[in-house]
Structure 1
């Protein structure tokens, strides 16, 4: 599979890829639903729109072929719009992050359907990383320092780093909405951007997914060290609308579980290229799978209102 870190560096260059037959960026949804003869598959805005369409086109084609139902790929304006569509029943299935999914379950706007597999495992790791010569040896050393985070709705790049800081006795104030009242100065951007800020000495540490800190051989990049790690975060799920019938839900789940390897290769049909999907398999999952994420969201007292901040 193509290197995730290299992929993140290239997303600006692949935004020009075009896929026909799918709708544009939306913040609200039409009236068509699976019950009316169409499966609306929502993509969360984690990467540029055209890039994600090129990734998911074969995936949607397979779903359409297996269910015999027209599949419409839609790109949401934000994570809140994904949950809005699922909650209203005008979106049927969505790919999203574990944090957004956890908040959606809390608000009765989404049901967990599938868990994704990537880089050899069904879970992944959040880290707070610094440079070896920073003088920072524990999380308490970050009091008064500047810390970079990924997007505020990222589980590995925001939710879990904040949880680790809070458990270490630091006040997180109003984070991740702002760093008001926090014992540190926080900035939120993306995984690649937060790690780049650390590389350029703009922050003392970065809270990110472990994948962005690794060299091509899978080891931590030279010159860095982990201050704290949190393992066992379930990888991002596929979620469905609570309004979807049991039959409709099972049809979608069974079709995606049986998808051949080639659907993960993107629109060009070739493996190890820029438009590969970042994951390579799915398995059934439920609320219990994501209870660790929901627990952390509850401890940080976060709600779906946070998704409107993105």
Structure 2
């Protein structure tokens, strides 16, 4: 895999300290990756490893005897360890059996407090691999913290939706009506839970201030960062905000409420479609062999790694995605173009 260092069209070189150090999140401590850790072996065993004698090159990960996998808190944390445990276990076995790695290599799984913390951990070398959102991945690439290696397929497609919702019966009938209202967002680096909805509001003539860099105090509405897509919906359900931005999966799948329960609470005010589904990224500190090892492991993974601890398709512990394909930062150029609508350019990314 060729490491990419070309500048993203229209975007400069590094994110601000505010974005990479302390966005509102969902648990964790922030500065060191803001993560909680699980060494549980809740995943099912897999026989789908290629050989018993390593035949690949020697590879080293950031923790030497550890392969650290960071997760973004896009769904409630109680689900993530169960859903991702089989994939974590498979990655450990695959690299151990196919590459020359330390004998005691242990794959660990951590949940970052927010997208920024996950990208920061990659840059610091405390994480080797991470699942994250398209906008955060673009920032990570441009800041030199991470490299995009894969795109995920979820719910049968390679694209997804972003939406702004209001409570049923709300007097908010258009995006323009959001001026002066309290609006919940998932995370400042969320593509569907912040970037697209905020760009839509700006295009509708609403002053978004210096978002996403600042706290929104200059905007002509009050932003509330919920720390996740389902959390954003929950604030709307509880009546704590007037509107909420989130990924379309919150409305259309059983992640959070069921679709029927969602419609008992909320109405879609605005929807964007065709967003490229989220990537898998690796630390830029890893050499090409280590990056290739992770990419190849994913590409050769059996279906059961996506099916949760019970190994059965269609149950509650399934991962939201079911396949991956090779990708790089160019896959997310449309997301980067949307960021330009908010003035996210060279000045925003400078140290």
TM-score (norm 2): 0.69
Report the equivalent of 2:95: 67
Q: How does 1:125-140 map to 2 (within 5 A)?
A: 125-131=161-167, 133-140=169-176
Query: Counterpart in 2 of 1:5?
Result: none
Contact 1:64 1:71 in 2 (8 A): yes
Asked if 1:239 is matched to 2:285, the reply is: no
- The 5 Å alignment of 1:184-263 reads 184-189=221-226, 190-214=228-252, 221-222=263-264, 224-263=266-305
Report SS of the residue matched to 1:94: strand
Confirm whether residue 172 of structure 1 aligns to residue 208 of structure 2: yes
Contiguous gaps of at least 5 residues in structure 2: 1-25, 27-37, 43-59
Cα distance per residue 1:76-122 (max 9 Å; x no partner): 54334432332244532211122221211121111100111111111
Q: Give the drift of 1:282.
A: 0.9
Per-residue CA deviations over 1:220-265 (Å, capped at 9, x if unaligned) read 7257443221111111210012232223222221211121111112
Q: Tell me what 1:269 maps to.
A: 311
Q: What's the counterpart of residue 55 of structure 1?
A: 83
SS of alignment partner, residue 277 of structure 1: coil
Task: Give 1:297 shift.
Answer: 3.2
Unaligned runs of 5+ in 1: 1-10, 12-17, 23-31
CA–CA separation in structure 2 for the residues paired with 1:108 and 1:82: 13
1:214–1:109 Cα change, 3 Å: same
Deviates more, 1:96-105 or 1:291-300: 291-300
- Secondary structure, counterpart of 1:221 in structure 2: helix
Does residue 104 (structure 1) correspond to residue 124 (structure 2)? The answer is: no
- 2:29 maps to none
Please identify, of 76-85 and 103-112, the stretch whose mean Cα deviation from structure 2 is larger.
76-85
* Change in CA separation of 1:106 and 1:221 when aligned onto 2, cut-off 3 Å: same
1:300 is matched with 342
Describe the superposition over 1:1-60 as per-residue Cα deviations: whole angstroms up to 9, x where unpaired: xxxxxxxxxx9xxxxxx75379xxxxxxxxx72694643322234456564332222112
Change (3 A) 1:40 1:214: closer
* Aligned equivalents of 1:135, 1:257: Cα separation in 2: 48
- Paired with 1:260 and 1:40, the residues of 2 have a C-alpha distance of 21
- Choose between structure 1 and 2: higher helix proportion: 1
Shift of 1:61: 2.0
1:290 pairs with one of 332, 341, 349: 332
Aligned partners of 1:102 and 1:297 also within 8 Å: no
Whether the 8 Å CA contact 2:152–2:323 is kept in 1: the answer is: yes
CA distance in 2, matches of 1:55, 1:272: 12
Match of 2:40 in 1: 20
State the SS of the aligned residue for 1:250. Answer: helix
Aligned residues: 284
